[in-house]
Amino acid sequence: MLTDRDRAIYYHIEKYKFASIEQIQKAFFKEQKYSYDIARRRLNKLVSNDYLKCSRNFITNQNIYYIDNQYRKVSLHSMLLMDYYVELLHCNAEIVHFEKEKEWLDGKIRSDGFCIYDFNGYRFYNLIEVNASHNKLNLEKYESLFNSGELQKAYGVFPTIILIDDINHKSDPTFQSMDIIHLDFNLSDFAKIFM
């Protein structure tokens, strides 16, 4: 028999297309002892009842749970973006809006993610940029977005740029007009996004 939480997990995967055990653990079982094992069992129950499918992601070495076969192979880029999302949930942030691959300026600029959330009585706005391929960073696009005033007009502020990048730069990228928070792939300094 499926529980309400099983249904919530299913709807989460339906909405965001995939999830790992660790992501489901952080999003739905954070308060429970042995939360990883419970998340794994509940996901396997959904697989055995033909609600979900499962395959091994060889890039991240994790099981990926999905509904549609086109999401059986998930990129590191997509995994890191969703890791950021579930880390917010794990920290008890209330997600107001989360959108993957958000386009701005009539499609001229695209951020990997856009998120609005509330935490401890404050509202936060984030543009999320994931650099999983280690290509040259293209943060200049955010200068154009800042200079357009589109986001300031819509939200009253320009969002903080969250850069998820596992390269140790000689110095973190900075722009006078924008705040940039640099996180590694493990999101090890995640708490600094709330400061």
Reported as a pLDDT band with limits 50, 70 and 90, residue 172 is: low
- The sheet that has 122-131: what strands, in order across it? 94-104, 109-119, 122-131, 160-165, 180-183
* pTM, full prediction: 0.90
CA distance 99 to 112: 9
> What is the domain partition of the chain in residue ranges?
4-74, 79-194
Percentage of the chain beyond pLDDT 90 is: 71
At residue 106, the pLDDT reads 93
The CATH number fitting domain 4-74, selected from 1.20.81, 1.10.10, 3.30.360, 3.40.710: 1.10.10
On whether the CB atoms of residues 124 and 114 are closer than 8 A, the answer is no
78-136 pLDDT tens trace:
999 999 999 999 999 999 999 999 999 999 999 999 999 999 999 999 999 998 876 66
Q: Residue 145: which residues within 8 A CB-CB, separation 6 or more? A: 104, 105, 109, 127, 151
Residue 67, Cα to own-chain centre: how many angstroms? 19
**CATH architecture designation of domain 79-194:** 3-Layer(aba) Sandwich (3.40)
The SS3 of residue 116 is strand
